[in-house]
Structure 1
Amino acid sequence: MTMLQTAPTALHGPVCVVGSLNADLVVRTERLPRPGETVEGGPLRVTSGGKSANQAAAAALMGAAVRLVGAVGDDANGTVVLDQLARAGVRLDAVARRSGVPTGTAVVCVDSSAENLIIVSPGANGTLTTADVARAREAIAASRTLGLAFEVADDVVLAAARIAREESVTTVLNPSPYRQPSAELLSLVDVLVLNEHELADVLGRSPLDTSWAECGREVFDRFGVADVVVTLGGEGAVVLRTTAAGTAVEEIAPTPVEAVDTTGCGDAFTGALLGGLASGLDLVGSARLASLVGAYAATGEGAQASYPRPEDLASLAVTPSHG
């Protein structure tokens, strides 16, 4: 790997993330169980998680000014989640605490090859409403980028995207856990971040049977989304930018690391992308930074606990340039 002489510069831009907060119940095991099988696991750890909370933490740890909009229960797990996010630097004044409702929970099993199996119980995430989003208009409007994912209700995601469009805020959608985004939601999205399987689902075919440029053109022609970032796990990422003149394809090389746990790596990528765009990096530069952050996250256990600060990336690869 190419060594940096200095650590990547900390981000600084304002980011808002609307969505889920979970308590992750994580256990490691030699291999993932088959249906009906019981396997022995190691000690149980309870940490802060949830796709949106993970993305917020990743951006904040890299220096971005992040506000999170969501809900947790008035329980011990909610306290664990909020305390860890606060330590990461996430502003939490728009996170509600719901009485009598458990905090969202994800049961995470990680095997010896760093693959994982995750089951999510929505809990308080299921109580987030469009009224909560409306009350958070100022938080969205004060940001340069808005991060959205699919662990909360469709109408909540759409309401946030509408406000972002009205306030000229760049909306980044990560349609995960996957369900087909509505045509209206996609019309409000500026950057679509998804993996190969999700891209195939968006386009209605699997596997993908056309070039990256043709995929980018199809997303643009059908849904109006000009900028697409496709994450490829250990193979890096691809940035697709489409205009009337055609689709530019930029491949982001992978960063070689010794993977320990891939839980939350995609969220780390998306959070860093949000922070990069909010801080003045162009889309390709933001994706390069995001690839470093996602790779670093794979070297530690858990989601947020494995996310880097800028100085942690000094040993990885090339610092992205401003565009």
Structure 2
Amino acid sequence: MTNRVTVIGSLNVDTILEIPRLPKPGETLAMGDQSFAGGGKGSNQGIAAARAGAETYFVGKIGEDANGKFMVKSMTDSGVNVDQVTVTKEAKTGQAFILLDKNGQNSILIYGGANQVLSVKDVDNASDIIAKSDFLITQFETPIEVAEAGFKIAKKHGVVTILNPAPAREVPTSLLAISDLVTPNETECETLTGVKITDEASMIKGAEKLHEMGAKGVIITVGSKGAFYHTADGHYGFVDAFKVKAVDTTAAGDTFIGALSTQLKKDLSNLPEAIRFANRASSITVQRMGAHPSIPTLAEIEAAETADK
């Protein structure tokens, strides 16, 4: 059965600057190349879900500009329903400027733009779509009150809520209390719980703190190592990442979230299997350049699985 996934989130046009390393203060550094691609944590997650097989809907905001039209096309080309992506005259479409070094690591500057104009009213207008979903995903590149409004609608209708608490920031306990699955990386987990993630014991401690705050399930992603999971009933474990040579880590975490949502059961009973699938999808993303262009299709994920056997 195909999962129905709705994402509330950001839409950004990414400008990717390829550099040998980050410049020092006052230093001028030559770039290797420059390129443009669709991005934004929200839209990356929506496209990842759609390409990996979910029936996917998106709630977001763009400016009245060419970048906005570009983002809508990028989403619809991947099969994402954008009926609830609305246009504002108050701000330009969001943008991100990605400094990508020769080792595939990135540093990112974000202009929130129209993403920050997304409102509770926009979410209320999408309530029918949210109510009919299996999963609702959101992140922190749009206002937190928007995330909370969406999750409240979801909880009224038995929709499973997935909170990707990125970029890292403090989160109201009222939002965590209605988050079924929270998916921080090590830094984000420390911001949420005060627990520094260094080993399995600290991961367990961080997850237990998130359970105390209301989360039923926790996944702590640790980059190229893989992902740790912990459920409120005490089941936990670690799912190793697939070893590949990364050329660009942009959208790897977002691909993980989107792909995960396509496989997950609503009771979270198959977390390890869904994480393995999501790890596989991410391993493909990091081997390619850009955000939207790097996100794999279901056929590509299945082909990678077959090639490994």
Q: 2:227, 2:285 → 1: CA distance? A: 16
Gaps of 5+ in 1: 1-10
- Percent identical pairs in the alignment equals 33
Pick the aligned partner of 1:212 from 203, 211, 218.
203
Q: More deviation in 55-64 or 196-205?
A: 196-205
User: Does 1:52 pair with 2:42?
Assistant: yes
Q: What are the Cα deviations for residues 223-275 of structure 1, in whole angstroms up to 9, with x where unaligned? A: 021210111111011111122xxx22221111011111001100010111122
User: Does 1:35 pair with 2:22?
Assistant: no
* 1:311 alignment partner AA: A
Pick the aligned partner of 1:165 from 155, 160, 163.
155
Q: 1:256, 1:170 → 2: CA distance? A: 31
Offset of 1:169 from its aligned partner? 0.4
User: Does 1:305 pair with 2:296?
Assistant: no
Q: 2:214, 2:269 → 1: CA distance? A: 23
Give the corresponding residue for 1:261. 248
Describe the shift of the 1:315–1:76 C-alpha distance in structure 2 as closer, same or farther (beyond 3 A): same
Pick the aligned partner of 2:283 from 295, 298, 304.
295
* 1:83 alignment partner AA: K
Q: 1:278, 1:206 → 2: CA distance? A: 30
8 Å CA contact 1:32, 1:116 repeated in 2: no
Give the corresponding residue for 2:57. 67
8 Å CA contact 1:56, 1:66 repeated in 2: yes
Q: 1:215, 1:128 → 2: CA distance? A: 31
Gaps of 5+ in 2: none
Offset of 1:216 from its aligned partner? 2.5
Q: 1:109, 1:213 → 2: CA distance? A: 33
Give the corresponding residue for 1:271. 258
8 Å CA contact 1:71, 1:95 repeated in 2: yes
Give the corresponding residue for 1:18. 8
Is the partner of 1:238 in helix, strand or coil? strand
Offset of 1:219 from its aligned partner? 2.1
Describe the shift of the 1:281–1:54 C-alpha distance in structure 2 as closer, same or farther (beyond 3 A): farther
Q: 2:202, 2:269 → 1: CA distance? A: 26
8 Å CA contact 1:47, 1:80 repeated in 2: no
Describe the shift of the 1:242–1:318 C-alpha distance in structure 2 as closer, same or farther (beyond 3 A): farther
8 Å CA contact 2:44, 2:251 repeated in 1: yes
Q: What does 1:1-323 correspond to in 2, within 5 Å? A: 12-99=2-89, 101-208=91-198, 210-221=201-212, 223-243=213-233, 247-277=234-264, 282-317=270-305
8 Å CA contact 2:3, 2:261 repeated in 1: no
8 Å CA contact 1:216, 1:226 repeated in 2: no
Offset of 1:281 from its aligned partner? 7.7
* 1:215 alignment partner AA: G
* 1:299 alignment partner AA: Q
Cα-Cα RMSD? 1.9
Q: TM-score, normalized by length of structure 1?
A: 0.89
Q: TM-score, normalized by length of structure 2?
A: 0.93
Q: 1:272, 1:281 → 2: CA distance? A: 16
Is the partner of 1:194 in helix, strand or coil? coil
Aligned length in residues: 305
Give the corresponding residue for 1:4. none
